[in-house]
Amino acid sequence: MKYTEELREPFAYGYLRRKDDGDYAAFGEGLYEEGKVLPIFYEKEVGLFSCGRLIDICGFASSWGLWYSQERLDGKRERFPEYKEFFDAMEATFGDRDTGKRMWAYRTERELKLDRNRSCWGGMAGHAILDFGGVMELGTSGMREKIAKYRRIHPYADSFYSGLERVLDMLDVIGDRTRAEAERMAAEAQDEEEKKHFLDLARALSVVPRNTPCDFLSAAQFFWLFFGYDGYDSPGRVDQIFWPYWQKTPRGEALKILDGIWQGFNKHGSWGVCISGSDENGRDMTNEISFAMLDLVKKYKYSKPNLSMRWHKNTDPALMRSAAEALALGCGLPALYNDDAVCSMFINELGIPPRDAHDYSMNGCNQIDIQGKSHMGLEDGEVNLLKCLEYTLTRGKCLITGEVLGRDCGDPADFKTFDDLMAAFRAQVEEITEIACCLANRRQYVDATNAPNLFRTIMTRGCIEKGRDFKNGGPLYNDGQILTEGIADTVDSLAAIRYHVYEKKHFTLPEIVAAMENDFEGCEEMRRMLATEPARFGNDDPATDALAAEIMEHYMRYLLTLRTYRGGRYSAGCSPFVRASTFGEAVGASPNGRHKADPLIADSIGATPGRDVEGPTALINSVLRLPHKLAGSGFILNLKFDKSVFGTEEGLRDFLALWRSFFERGGQQLSVTVVSPDDLIDAQKHPERHEDLIVRIGGFSARFNELGHSLQDNVIARTLYGK
């Protein structure tokens, strides 16, 4: 079959050459051919080399899998008619393997509509935290020995292991090409310091990736080259990965290298970076790198990377103080996580051994993964509880489109007791949740059967040992995570119905539903009463909070009964990302007095913005009644503080006490925004004056000016805690 380099289709060429040897071997050959021609470039601000991707008709991106462009193929057919046989083979082989197209093809019309109207969704390819530390320790030479060992155990998986060996060849080729580029740049350098730097990089690349790094520079270059290859996703526990090599490097030199990596994280918008934490024996894992990364937060005040800090009862108070000082600068970093809540969930509910449970890190916005040992979806899908309640009250009708999309749970007039309503609501939640998981499982099936990810397979423990791909149950842990929208709004709505319909009998349930269908037109007094009584979630009201706990306990435990295609179990989280306002816009008027399509719904597990009026202690008391130790993904609590709180020693001490108390009582997560309320309002009117204004959004930090107007309103409406 005719092929030359001018076609720039190395992946397809390699794959087609080996396709008779099995899919995995063919994928490995395609990646190897790509590695021979991928662009290698020096990132000056990082001080390290990286590699880019090619724009081909078909290729492989670690985050998304195999992709294919019929449009590009048709264009090349016209330019290179002499390669008809090659193009025909490409089309026959790859034309029906695009994972995105196949996933959408598996959806029913109802499922598509449920996705479009923000009832639920499922099927994201997902982030990953790879085993950079373990692979660096072995080098590609040690990884080859590992493959040979397990190849003997799984002789039926010959194509799989052949593909992995070819990926190791690819890593070596990229390393060799990068070393040659470093030597070339050293030879051309006019400045002696610059020449020395490139010679040092060439020296490092004579060691890695084949062997264990000898110092922090060689470890950093190994990491950066292949972190970039994977799409600059989520590095995970950087202070633990780099610590063995940091100790072999003079401190000043090590700090300079770390500064460059931080610049790279910011440049590429990297996601989950994590510091500190405990081991399974409660020993504090904080080290010098942990403190150095908080110093970088203070120095640059970037919104990215998405830095998180793990807390436990033995956390160094000096690290807590440094984190509070960083938060005081207003960049929303670090996000704070509680080892007791997270590890308890992994150990007690998912059965993950304590040693691995304590090796967790945040991934993407705030989803939780086990470093280099898992594929937890991240995230697999999402459920809108407020939409579930709408369907329960309207016999499945969407109040935005008028279509019947939800389950018909019966006539609201027949719900004689509040327990009757809750039983119907639970049935609705279960059905929508199961649809989200089914959609996620279809995506997992498509990925597993059409787009093996051999690079992430090499970089994740369990895959080589099992003889299975990263996307097909290879990692040690293959659980899934379904996120949740509208928690507080749903609680407030059901609390209002219980109070006004079943306790005080101010209205009948059909009367409230009729008012909702008309967006409360002509029913302003009803709307006002629903909006004001009883106490909203977030104000330390035992009755409302108990209802919240009941709703979330049912939802979260039901998820734990559902299985992922990968071979694990689903669990819940709450990471609204930027979706809170769009999910609100997809819901009709609700029983808490909220108007149709109002984007102002809860943006975390806390109160609907502005509805927590009794202070931060009351909010925390309410939130602590939720089942945090059932949340397998980030269970985000957004808090907004006035700058004046963090501007004094007393304010810092008060925050540290609140943080410690919340976590000691079982809270899982805190995300903190420190702003001036006047700045937020002025930034909407005059964005040019506030280009560096940063706020915390559902698990990550973002520049306020880059948010949509509805989401800005959501942030402004959050209760501001002052002195």
Residue 685 resides in a domain:
no
Does the residue 692 lie in any domain? no
Task: Enter the tokens of residue 331.
Answer: 């960049």
Question: Which residues, including other chains, have CB under 8 Å from residue 200's CB and lie 6 or more apart?
Answer: 217
> Looking at the domain assignment, is residue 711 inside a domain?
no
Q: What is the mean pLDDT of the chain?
A: 93
- Which residue, of 635, 659, 679, is where some domain finishes? 635
- Specify whether 319 is located in the same domain as 284: yes
- Give the contacts of 40 (CB within 8 A, at least 6 positions apart): 49, 50, 51, 52, 174, 177, 178, 181
Judge if 358 and 401 occupy the same domain. no
Residue 617: which residues within 8 A CB-CB, separation 6 or more?
A: 540, 658
3-class secondary structure, 132: helix
Examine residue 698 and state whether it is found in any structural domain, yes or no: no
Q: Give the pair of three-digit tokens for residue 482.
A: 């379904």
- Answer yes or no: is 625 within a domain: yes
| Length of the chain as a residue count | 723
Is residue 127 domain-resident?
no
Question: Do residues 1 and 84 make contact, with C-beta atoms less than 8 angstroms apart?
Answer: no
Q: Which structural domain, as residue segments, surrounds residue 397? A: 381-635
Beta pairing partners, 310: 276, 337
pLDDT at 675: 81
In this prediction, residues 42-63 reach a mean pLDDT of 86
pLDDT at 207: 98
Domain closes at, from 87, 114, 141: 114
Alpha carbon distance 234, 241 (integer Å):
13
**pLDDT band at residue 696, thresholds of 50, 70 and 90?**
low
- Residue 246: CB partners within 8 Å, gap ≥ 6? 216, 254, 287, 288, 289
Output the six-digit token pair for 85: 């046989």
- Return the pLDDT at 512: 98
Tokens matching residue 488:
């507080």
Output the 3-class SS for 231-243: CCCCCEEHHHHHH
State whether 510 and 602 are in the same domain: yes
Whether residues 258 and 150 share a domain: the answer is yes
Q: How many CB atoms lie within 10 A of CB 604?
A: 27
514, containing H or E segment: helix 509-517
Cross-strand partners of 364: none
Q: Are strands 306-311 and 272-276 parallel, antiparallel or unpaired?
A: parallel
Q: Which residues contact 212 (CB under 8 A, 6 or more apart)?
A: 136, 137, 138, 139, 142
User: Within a domain: residue 641?
Assistant: no
Could you tell me if 395 and 516 lie in one domain? yes
Same-domain pairing of 60 and 82: yes
Number of domains present in the structure of the chain: 3
102 and 181 together in one domain = no
* Residue ending a domain, choose from 114, 140, 171: 114
pLDDT tens per residue across span 537-594: 999 999 999 999 999 999 999 999 999 999 999 999 998 877 888 999 999 999 999 9
Residue 542 and residue 431 in one domain: yes
Please tell me whether residues 497 and 581 are part of one structural domain: yes
Q: How many CB atoms lie within 10 A of CB 82?
A: 8
**Which tens digit of pLDDT belongs to each residue from 193-252?**
999 999 999 999 999 999 999 999 999 999 999 999 999 999 999 999 999 999 999 999
* One domain, residues 420 and 568: yes
- pLDDT at 575 (0 to 100): 87
Residue 718 lies in a domain: no
Q: pTM value?
A: 0.94
